[in-house]
Each structure stands twice: as structure tokens, then as C-alpha cells.
Structure 1
């Protein structure tokens, strides 16, 4: 893999990842861009003991441009984009409308009950391909493998930033999910706190270890590998529908070896992840008459805490409960956080196993 770094016109970093060592890119950005906003705030919710990010400047971010105006496509003569080069394999760059910024400042201090601090951190966009019509599911294995290398690279680099406590790699796909750019891409957030979901997961893992002496996630994987909810597997990975799935279509991908982060996966595990993930995504897309909307969320250990408790895995889920129906988070889910699912996990696993590829 060849790695090339440069700066965009407003100072943001951009990193190209190429399969070929002789790949070359245009590194200068000819655009005249305004400064990136650094006004994000973090406000602490004392009721839930959670930090909430306030980023009002994001109201003006790009929203559903036509394909010929996509800002994630390579630049062409007379039409510069967020990617100055006229070609690329995989590219990452700092978000132009970030929720979190390493340069964030605020004059607001809040109160003893609701403290406020700058929205420090970093938000990056990761483009999986220069092909606007592609999706992760249609990537060639070697292209998908390059994305895995980019995830690992960015996880390492962002974890080293001062104040960063957790790195989250994810993909939102589909208008139903709220995607505002249709180009195949994901995002990476470097948070200045451990997120609520990770905190709760690790608290459960800690209680399980105190009670049994074992790792919670390893025990879940062992039970699922022996059951009926397995969708697909390789020598080093298993994909399964969890027993208490919250979403209509939900699959978790676990490596068989406990590791804390993407960076800890060896070459064989990275290769096999690509094979399994592409298989599962194709099963998702074959369920209905159109590509399925989904969220793909990597769960990595926090940067500085509980790395022995954590267990790297990917959670993949969709709001689509039928070809023409979506799962909405209504009163019970939104008001109480108590999910009610319409499809049995065992039935979903059977459908995904039997789908024609």
C-alpha cells in the first residue's frame, strides 16, 4: 500500500491510499475555501451522564447534490472537488463540516450542573472508491482490502491525537438512513470521550468477567457459533444474527481471536474479513428488490481504558423490515430505549443463509 498525504485549500489533511507504488496524485487544491468552523461544543447531560455534541454550523452542509456535482468524486478540469486528484483508489480527508475539530474553541463554560467544553476531536470522510455508482458490496476484494488498511491506518493515527478517547469507523448507506451524499463512503470519528454505547457494553463485560472469569464477547461468539443464527463463516470469522437483535435485519461479524482494534488483526484475518463481509453485504442486497439501506459500525476498544475487556467486532443493521416498509423508532424505542422487533432473529438468519447470490 502506498500512502500519500497533502493539505486542502483550507488546511484540512487528505490522505490517499493506493494499491500501486507508482500511483501519483495532484496534491495542490486550487479552490478558494472559507475557514472550517471550530465552534462545536460538548454539553454534559446530567440525567443520562452523557456528552452531547452541539454543531450548529452543520445545518449548511452539502445535501443530496446531483451525481455530476458530487464533492467526493475525483476532480476534473474546471470542476474541483474535495479530492484534488483526477483519480484515486481510497482516500480519507478531514470533514469540511465537522462535528468535532482539533481546533475547536468555545467561550461558553456552562454551569456546575451542565458543564460545556470545546468539541475537540476529529471527523474524517473515507471514500471507498472513485466510482460514484459503486457500493461496498460491489468492490473487488483487493479494493475492499485497501479500505481495511485505511481503517487501520486512521485508527492508529487518530488514536494518537491528544485528548482522543475512542475511534469509531462506520458507514451509513441509503437515503432511509439519512445519507446526504450517495458516493460510496464512510466516516471516522475521533471522540474526546468514550461513547455511551461502548461504556455500557464494557460495563456489561466487566460484570460478566467478575461473575464468570470469562470474556462476555467470547462467550457470545461461542454460543452463536454452535447455534442456528449463523449466517456465514470462515476459518477466522463468524457472521451471525444476535439472539436479541433490535433491528429487522442485523448481523454481527466477530473474529475468532479476541483483539481490541482493527489494527490488531493480522493479514489472514483481514483477508478473511473482506471475504465474509462482502458475502454478507451481497446477502443483504439480495433480500429485496433494491439495495438495502444499512449502518455498519465497528466496535473497537477505547484508546486508553478497558482494552482487555473489549472485543473488536462489526455490527451491521438495516431499518428495512420489508421490501416496502421501514422500522421507525417510535414511542417505546425513542421514548424509553426499549426496542420491539417485528422479526425473529432465527428467521432472519435462515433467510440470509438461503438467499440466492
Structure 2
């Protein structure tokens, strides 16, 4: 059977560029070189510790220079043309490359990099470390506009393969403690490019969210995710389920639209998923996203966050999980994080989770009827 193909290239300034060709691709294997004049890469940022919380903040001033909502003819993620020397020299199915203005990296090692998790956990005044790591851009399609939900099942499967490949590769880099694939969708979220794409961050520390999760696992026990999934699958909050995955509105949802998706077995990250799990996810995830878009007459802004276990700890009890959130609480209203949420981290939910689950289920049913997602023959066979 045809398979997804990985092709590794290098951009003019030395950044890595990887093409992932669909299993049913129409593209030739050759790719054009990057003929742009190489520019100097920005200096690696510095991260500073907040002694009140112990959290680390990367001060990445180079990000101020990134492109903001360019016209289609100047899309930096589109295949390059003579009038638009973009980041991707050739036409592609899926392309992954190192971010030009990263929050972490380009340095992977440095004399002032974090020395260990113990070093990061110590509290002090004026503590700083180099923001080593890597940030990558994942282009879902050569089209100028869209999102993951607008992909074909075959292309969705290719993106998932790219996530798995890059998770394994980035986890193997020195000083990387956690790898995080995500998609920001919609200008209400703060998106600066309309091109269908996501990102992958390879952090030099374990993120605050995961640090709190580790504390919960250590207090509750190693069956936390198993027990959550069992409880949610028996509730009225399930919105979508398959042989390998279940999506549900969580019991204590914070956002007006919030859906979690878990695999049915313990897998720490995308690299540990099976071929069957990746194949089913390609169609279930498309159905979920198209359902979220069907909630209202206009597209729904969201953040699709794929939480993965840290690289070196709690691999056997922290499970890969999607957290899809949207601030949209009505057709013409957004939830803003005001005083209680922003300053105190004390959330107040606007929509009962059971009601939200009902609305999402109904929207998925409408989307399935109006725009059904069917796996391709190759997809079904993988």
C-alpha cells in the first residue's frame, strides 16, 4: 500500500525543512532548493523566572517582527513563486520547518541553558537561563486559507504522521523536556496568518499546566487518566467515540466550548500511537472540528492543544490528550478572561458542561449530514 513519505531539506539560512507527502500524493519527489539570500537568525531568547510562582517566562523580542495578516499574494507559508519568495520553496502536501522568529531556540545547547529539572525548580531573585529548544511551523496545506478541519482525511492523516515524527525527533534533542503540538484558529484567538497551519514547541522545561497535572497524578495515583476516561465515557458529556478514541466535554469545563479527546489506552505522546489509532483519529478529529464549526453560522475560533507527557518523567501515567477550547459563548459574544480568571486563576463557567455537550453533539450531527467525513480507501486500509 502507498505510504506517507518524509523528505528532509534545508533552507538557505540553515533551518530544517521537512516535506511529508500524502499516501495518495500527486506530487513528484523532487523539491526545489531555497534560493533566497541567507539572513542571520535571531539570537536565542532568554527566559526569566517569576519568583512568586517559580514559572519561567521567555523574553523573545524577535517575535515582534513576525508577519501580521499578509495578503494572499504575500503568504509566507504558501509555496514560493518569483513574486513571493516564501518559507517553502516547492509545492507540498504538508511541510514542517523551524520558525524564523522562535520563542525557544535556535540554540539547543548553551552554557547558560537549564542544567536540570532541579535547577529549574529552585527559586531565586533575578534567575535567568537561555531559552534553548525549538519551535516549528506545521503547514497543513499549500492553500492560503483554512484550518485542520478543512483537510481531507488523507491529508489529516499526513499531519498526524508529521506530529508523531516531530514529537519523536524533538524529544530526542538535548535539553528538551516537553513537546507540544497545537493549532490556533481565528483572529479572535490572535492568529497572525490565515494559512492553515499549526506549531510545535519543544520546551526546555515542563510547562506549568503539566507541573500541576503531575502533582494531581502523584496525589491521586497512576490510574488518574484511566479513571477519568471511564467516568466520562459513562456520562452524558460524550460527544464522539470510536474504537480507539473518545471525545467529551469535561466535568469541570472552564470554557464555553471545551472538548477533550483521549485515546483508550495509555500512550504518552503521538510517537507512541499505533497506525490504527492515527488512522481513526484522522476522521474523528475532522468530525469534531467540523462539528464545532457548525455550532454557529460563522467559523468558530479555537485553540487545539495536544497535551503530551514530559520527555523523561511520568511517561506511564500521563496520557496524550486533546484540549480544544473556544471563548465563543454565543453567536456574537466571546468570553474574556477578566479579573477572577486572569489575576487569580479562579474560573467561572458560563455554560453547564452537560448543555455544552448536547450542543456539540447536535452540531456534529449537522456537520456529518451536510459534509460527511469518509476515509479514503488507503486511509481505511492503514
How high is the TM-score relative to the length of structure 1?
0.95
- Match of residue 200 from structure 1: 212
Secondary structure (helix, strand or coil) at the match of 1:177 reads coil
The CA RMSD measured in Å over matched residues stands at 1.8
- Match of residue 29 from structure 1: 34
Contact 2:146 2:194 in 1 (8 A): no
- Match of residue 4 from structure 1: 7
Task: Pick from 107, 127, 135 the counterpart of residue 147 of structure 2.
Answer: 135
Task: Confirm whether residue 342 of structure 1 aligns to residue 365 of structure 2.
Answer: no
Equivalent residues in 2 for 1:150-165, closer than 5 Å? 150-165=162-177
1:132 positional shift: 1.6
Q: Distance in 2 between matches of 1:50 and 1:257?
A: 31
Contact 1:3 1:18 in 2 (8 A): yes
Q: Distance in 2 between matches of 1:140 and 1:107?
A: 44
1:114 positional shift: 2.4
Contact 2:44 2:106 in 1 (8 A): no
Task: Confirm whether residue 16 of structure 1 aligns to residue 19 of structure 2.
Answer: yes
Point out 4+ residue stretches in structure 1 off by more than 6 angstroms: 104-109
Secondary structure (helix, strand or coil) at the match of 1:176 reads coil
- Match of residue 250 from structure 1: 258
1:163 positional shift: 0.6
Task: Pick from 52, 60, 64 the counterpart of residue 59 of structure 1.
Answer: 64
Q: Distance in 1 between matches of 2:54 and 2:132?
A: 18
- Match of residue 231 from structure 2: 223
Task: Confirm whether residue 288 of structure 1 aligns to residue 314 of structure 2.
Answer: no
Contact 2:73 2:84 in 1 (8 A): no
Secondary structure (helix, strand or coil) at the match of 2:57 reads strand
Query: 1:43-68: CA deviations, max 9, x gaps?
Result: 11111011111101211111111111
1:136 positional shift: 1.1
Task: Confirm whether residue 82 of structure 1 aligns to residue 87 of structure 2.
Answer: yes
Secondary structure (helix, strand or coil) at the match of 1:47 reads coil
Task: Pick from 268, 277, 284 the counterpart of residue 285 of structure 2.
Answer: 277
- Match of residue 269 from structure 2: 261
Task: Pick from 95, 100, 105 the counterpart of residue 104 of structure 2.
Answer: 100
Q: Distance in 2 between matches of 1:89 and 1:66?
A: 21
Contact 1:136 1:278 in 2 (8 A): yes
Q: Distance in 1 between matches of 2:38 and 2:351?
A: 48
Secondary structure (helix, strand or coil) at the match of 1:158 reads helix
- Going from structure 1 to structure 2, the CA distance change for 1:309 and 1:256 (only over 3 Å counts) comes to same
Query: 1:82-107: CA deviations, max 9, x gaps?
Result: 0011x100000000001111427699
Tell me the number of residue pairs that the alignment of Structure 1 and Structure 2 aligns: 351
Q: Distance in 2 between matches of 1:140 and 1:336?
A: 42
Q: Distance in 2 between matches of 1:137 and 1:296?
A: 11
Contact 2:266 2:317 in 1 (8 A): no
Q: Distance in 1 between matches of 2:280 and 2:361?
A: 18
Q: Distance in 1 between matches of 2:61 and 2:353?
A: 39
Secondary structure (helix, strand or coil) at the match of 1:298 reads strand
How high is the TM-score relative to the length of structure 2?
0.88
Q: Distance in 1 between matches of 2:272 and 2:69?
A: 36
1:341 positional shift: 1.3
